Structure 1
Amino acid sequence: MSLRAGDWVEVRSKGEILRTLDKDGRLENLPFMPQMFQYCGRRFRVYKRAHKTCDTINFAGGRKLPGGIHLENLRCDGSAFGGCQAACLIFWKEAWLKPVDSASSGEVLPPPTKIAAGNGCTESDVLAATHAKTQPLSGGPRYACQATELLEATTRLPWWDVRQYFEDYASGNAGGWRLFVGFVYAAVFSCYHYMRRLGLTRLSVVLSWAYDKVQRLYGGVPFPRYRGSIPAGRPVPTVKLDLQPGELIRVKSYEEILQTLDTDNRNRGLYFDAEMVPYCGQTFRVRSRVTTFVNEKTGLINRLRGPAVILEKVWCKARYSDCRMQCPRAIYPWWREGWLERISDAPSDQRGHAQAAEAETRAHAASDT
């Protein structure tokens, strides 16, 4: 259907969707998850075309997903997967959607393609498919969700395949300026990376220094690939704030956060990613706490060594990600409480903080393109 970011669609009925699925509840190896049924018959705006995504299983770069779509604000609630709290953005196939002219109008645009015939899948089959066919002898159930099965539903997409960037632009996923800035950063980082590999450390320091100088001229983000200084395996600073959903926080400065990281850029195993750097120094609200998640490689439930939190409207924008620039998956990063500081939210200043946070999130949304 060549849906674009911002288009309105209606999720097809349960019966229509079931007819597209095989007995394992999948279309072209992509699982339709049980919690997606609640959206049948409802209308949503397209967030971005999911024509590509990232490999979070082997971390081997980008993946190509035919007919993939992300809808605004529709994330997995983990209810069918052991209470996983990762809140991944759901993947939709175009065959599960039909275009409409607006959020409220009853006019449905003619479907350009025919719905494929499935193999008699039922809602019970979809529920049963949340558990992998092979189960471990111990350690709890092994789950199968869109994230764990993503490699089966996608094919490798090399970063040098320029067709993906044309589709980024044509689909409305990213504007010309965002793509240009991304290419500039990719060139700088490639030079930095190879200088380090060749032992030209001083030259790489000069390059990152020059990058920061240019960024400061227009209030840009500093070079996001610096490393912590604590030797790997040594104790790192820990902070317990017991933050709860709805609380207002400020992300600490990049320099302060680097002081809590080891040389692998981790704090108790949790990685501080380059995509988190643009949010440093800004104010947000806590969305949820994270202690439990499905390991995408094994399908087993894992627990964090120490809790982390997810912040409202703070997600990866794939600006600085290796070999997967402009990935639309919008994964929530997880934040250690030591990277945040609580802000007093008394009634006298609540409105001001809320307005500031809302202005920042609007700016983030606008900068997506």
Structure 2
Amino acid sequence: MYRFKINQLSDLDGFLTKVSGRMPKNRESYRKTILASAAFCLLAMLIGIGAFFVPGLAVVLFFAFCLMAAVIAGLVVLGGLIGLSRDAMELRGQPYYSTRPRECSAGAFVHLRRKLLRLMPGSPARLRLWPGEWVEVRPFSEIAMTLDDEGRLDGLPFMPEMRRYCGGRHRVFRRVEKIHHYYGPTAPHLRRLRDAVLLDELRCDGAGHGGCQAGCQLIWKEAWLSPSDGAKADRPAPEAVDASRLDACAKINAADGEERYACQMTELPKATTRLSWRDPRHYWRELRSGNVRPGPFIVAVALALFNTVQRKLRSAEAPYREPTDRKTSPKEVLDLQPGELVRVKTRRQIEETLNHVSKNRGLWFDREMHRFCGGEFRVASVVRTIVDEASGKMLTMGSACIVLAGVSATGEYLGLCPQNELIFWHEIWLERVAPRA
């Protein structure tokens, strides 16, 4: 639900001003940027309209420049209004997550597009799949022919956990045109991935990687798939082909003797190339590929432009968290179990549990998590062990992390990255809706 109501904003601002004697600093900063950007947008439009009536090629180019400047300034205004609206809802404890899928639906256009692509010459490995299309995972005997000695295609591993889906039919969830790389000396940055998709909610169960519970969504190269009619029945996966090398490739013999693992997440840097945040094409690819509808796309671009301006001005970005100088963070044990109904605490309550770097015992309270504050969800799973993406080591959590059903990252603040990562919650950020029976 991407929405904002100006009357609610004014009422809340008036209430906060009466209570505190002045408007909160972040909201005051938002309003200044909105007003300045609106004035710049209006000025650029007036100058452009005036120049439009003067003949000449240079004047036409100047008009186009003014029009582009006005559009960008208008998007900054929109991003600021969205930031104000969301901040108001967070203060009221009202969640603003969307229940609608961000992907475009597969309609008649997608079916016509597939028929036209079949008539075009080109490599069968490049299917140019669209979200919502049905595909069949090729038999493992065919997939094995695409893999190198390390069980990879273009640097991306085909993992043991993926073999049980061979022969099955699934819908394309999203294309993976890029990933967000957030560890290592050069992180964070974007990286380009080609000819890859996500299917349905097919996630790694960690069976081939020491029981890792991260639940990462599996990435499929298009060479491992073929277009299919979803009405057909699945074919059983063939068992005659030896897949033992997949298990061998999933483990690494480290020099220190410690057992380590190699999976798609640890090897993504080798399967991708560096991508610049400043290159606007990575936004365009998400829209062109059907990964995002126009509405969420405009919201994400508007917030990115607004936060860029705020960053340049060294002002508060959206969403906002009250800074603290605490060096330690508290702990609370609820012993939550899958199936229990919980409520995410308000932003104010969660802020009181964070240290000076917005962490609670090593776990970030990320910007993606703000939208769920105040919402009620079922506990999907309890995570205690994960493979560290930077080193490949198996890590044991100091305290269990909670995964909530239907709660995953949207990528809105990360260039609309499509990875659909699960969000981990500490129990201190949650509360039971009803006492355990």
- Matching residue of 1:66: 194
8 Å Cα contact 1:43/1:103 also seen in 2: no
Segments of 4+ moved more than 6 angstroms: none
8 Å Cα contact 2:261/2:393 also seen in 1: yes
Mean CA deviation greater in 166-175 or 81-90: 166-175
- Matching residue of 1:35: 161
Question: Relative to 1, partners in 2 of residues 1:166 and 1:191: Cα closer, same or farther, differing over 3 Å?
Answer: closer
Q: Which amino acid aligns with 1:292?
A: T
- Matching residue of 2:298: 180
Q: Which amino acid aligns with 1:343?
A: V
- Matching residue of 2:37: none
Are residue 123 (structure 1) and residue 216 (structure 2) matched? no
Distance in structure 2 (CA, Å) of the matches to 1:346 and 1:243: 9
Q: How many positions carry a matched residue from both structures? A: 303
- Matching residue of 1:21: 147
- Matching residue of 1:305: 398
Q: Which amino acid aligns with 1:248?
A: L
Distance in structure 1 (CA, Å) of the matches to 2:325 and 2:409: 25
Are residue 337 (structure 1) and residue 430 (structure 2) matched? no
Q: Which amino acid aligns with 2:214?
A: A
Question: 1:123-144 deviations in whole A, cap 9, x for unaligned?
Answer: 1111100012x41424x31100
Q: Which amino acid aligns with 2:254?
A: Q
- Matching residue of 1:169: 287
1:228 deviates by 4.4
Are residue 45 (structure 1) and residue 165 (structure 2) matched? no
Are residue 241 (structure 1) and residue 361 (structure 2) matched? no
Distance in structure 2 (CA, Å) of the matches to 1:160 and 1:29: 26
1:160 deviates by 2.3
Distance in structure 2 (CA, Å) of the matches to 1:305 and 1:159: 34
- Matching residue of 1:315: 408
Q: What SS does structure 1 have at the residue aligned with 2:371?
A: helix
Larger Rg: 2
5 Å matches for 1:181-330?
Answer: 181-196=299-314, 204=315, 223-231=318-326, 233-234=327-328, 236-321=329-414, 325-330=415-420
- Matching residue of 2:277: 159
Q: Which amino acid aligns with 1:344?
A: A
Question: 1:317-355 deviations in whole A, cap 9, x for unaligned?
Answer: 11123xxx11000111110001001112899xxxxxxxx
CA RMSD of aligned residues (A): 1.9
Distance in structure 1 (CA, Å) of the matches to 2:180 and 2:279: 15
Which structure 2 segments of 5+ residues have no match?
A: 1-126, 235-240
Distance in structure 2 (CA, Å) of the matches to 1:71 and 1:4: 11
Question: 1:182-239 deviations in whole A, cap 9, x for unaligned?
Answer: 111112212222322xxxxxxx25xx6xxxxxxxxxxxxxx324244242x33x2221
Question: Relative to 1, partners in 2 of residues 1:105 and 1:304: Cα closer, same or farther, differing over 3 Å?
Answer: closer
5 Å matches for 1:89-104?
Answer: 89-104=217-232
- Matching residue of 1:135: 254
Distance in structure 2 (CA, Å) of the matches to 1:345 and 1:161: 51
Q: What SS does structure 1 have at the residue aligned with 2:245?
A: helix
Distance in structure 1 (CA, Å) of the matches to 2:353 and 2:397: 17
Question: Relative to 1, partners in 2 of residues 1:48 and 1:247: Cα closer, same or farther, differing over 3 Å?
Answer: same
More helix by share: 2
Question: 1:137-192 deviations in whole A, cap 9, x for unaligned?
Answer: 24x31100000000000011112222222221122101112111111111221222
Which structure 1 segments of 5+ residues have no match?
A: 107-120, 197-203, 209-222, 348-369
Task: Tell me the TM-score normalised to structure 2 length.
Answer: 0.66
Distance in structure 2 (CA, Å) of the matches to 1:80 and 1:105: 27
Q: Which amino acid aligns with 1:60?
A: P
8 Å Cα contact 2:170/2:230 also seen in 1: no
1:4 deviates by 0.6
Distance in structure 2 (CA, Å) of the matches to 1:188 and 1:35: 41
- Matching residue of 1:150: 268
Task: Tell me the TM-score normalised to structure 1 length.
Answer: 0.78
Q: What SS does structure 2 have at the residue aligned with 1:151?
A: helix
- Matching residue of 1:353: none
1:8 deviates by 0.7
1:100 deviates by 1.1
8 Å Cα contact 1:228/1:259 also seen in 2: no
Distance in structure 1 (CA, Å) of the matches to 2:303 and 2:332: 33
Question: 1:264-304 deviations in whole A, cap 9, x for unaligned?
Answer: 00001111100111111111111111111111110001122
Q: Which amino acid aligns with 1:224?
A: P
Distance in structure 1 (CA, Å) of the matches to 2:374 and 2:323: 18
8 Å Cα contact 1:228/1:261 also seen in 2: no
- Matching residue of 1:215: none
Question: Relative to 1, partners in 2 of residues 1:333 and 1:228: Cα closer, same or farther, differing over 3 Å?
Answer: farther
Distance in structure 2 (CA, Å) of the matches to 1:346 and 1:306: 20
Q: Which amino acid aligns with 2:434?
A: S
Distance in structure 1 (CA, Å) of the matches to 2:147 and 2:282: 27
Q: What SS does structure 1 have at the residue aligned with 2:383?
A: strand
Q: What SS does structure 1 have at the residue aligned with 2:295?
A: helix
Aligned sequence identity (%): 41
